[in-house]
């Protein structure tokens, strides 16, 4: 015999399970986009620009690809060092002592990137914000569903 309350309860439990799976997937998406997405957000808050010097060009197994080590100083004089991978297909050749344009955040100077690559971080920022917002939405719907299940459990005592 069909019982509508039992069917609704099953539907609500299924919804909670699917929302939990969706939250995990969305948080994974946000974690993947965290590195460059948070850098893009920090650069949008307080964007500073400076020049960095290439301090080392490290060869790789490929003839064209190189690992570039560079160093820059922020407004307060604090030096920061970082690396990036140059695949060599863009025709850009880096040498020790060469100047690079670097964008960094005035509030978080450790958040920085090459000025030519920073616009590419926008997609990661959108994925980061979208993942966080959708996760919060799924959690809110899940909380509302669990509240409905709790009220159904309390109403059950009167039947």
pLDDT greater than 70 at residue 153: yes
What's the pLDDT tens digit per position in 101-119?
Answer: 999 998 998 899 998 889 9
Comparison of pLDDT for 157 and 22, the residue scoring more: 22
Percent of the chain exceeding pLDDT 90 equals: 64
Nearby residues of 75 by Cβ (< 8 Å), 6 or more positions away? 48, 106
**Taking 60 as the threshold, does the pLDDT of residue 159 lie above it?**
no
Q: Which residue has the higher pLDDT, 35 or 92?
A: 35
CA distance linking residue 71 with residue 31, whole number of Å: 27
Residues 149, 29: Cα–Cα separation, whole Å: 29
Q: Element (H or E) spanning 50, and its range?
A: strand 47-59
pLDDT tens across 41-95, in order? Answer: 999 998 999 999 999 998 888 878 889 999 999 888 889 998 988 887 777 788 8
Q: Which two tokens stand for residue 107?
A: 């509030």
- Secondary structure element (H or E) that encloses residue 136, with its range: helix 122-156
Residue 157 has pLDDT above 70, yes or no: no
pLDDT classification of 38: cutoffs 50, 70, 90? very high
pLDDT computed for residue 20 by the predictor: 95
Distance CA 33, CA 124 (A): 5
């Amino acid at each position: 015999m069909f019982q509508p309350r039992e069917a609704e309860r099953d539907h609500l439990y299924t919804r909670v399970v699917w929302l939990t799976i969706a939250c995990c997937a969305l948080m994974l998406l946000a974690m993947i986009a965290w590195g460059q997405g948070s850098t893009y957000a920090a650069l949008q808050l307080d964007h500073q620009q400076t020049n960095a010097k290439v301090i080392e060009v490290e060869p790789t197994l490929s003839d064209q690809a190189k690992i570039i080590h560079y160093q820059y100083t922020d407004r307060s004089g604090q030096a920061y060092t970082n690396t990036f991978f140059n695949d060599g297909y863009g025709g850009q050749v880096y040498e020790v002592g060469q100047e690079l344009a670097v964008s960094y955040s005035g509030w978080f100077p450790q958040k920085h990137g090459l000025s030519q690559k920073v616009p590419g971080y926008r997609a990661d920022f959108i994925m980061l914000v979208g993942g966080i917002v959708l996760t919060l939405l799924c959690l809110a719907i899940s909380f509302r569903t669990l509240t409905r299940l709790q009220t159904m459990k309390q109403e059950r005592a009167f039947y």
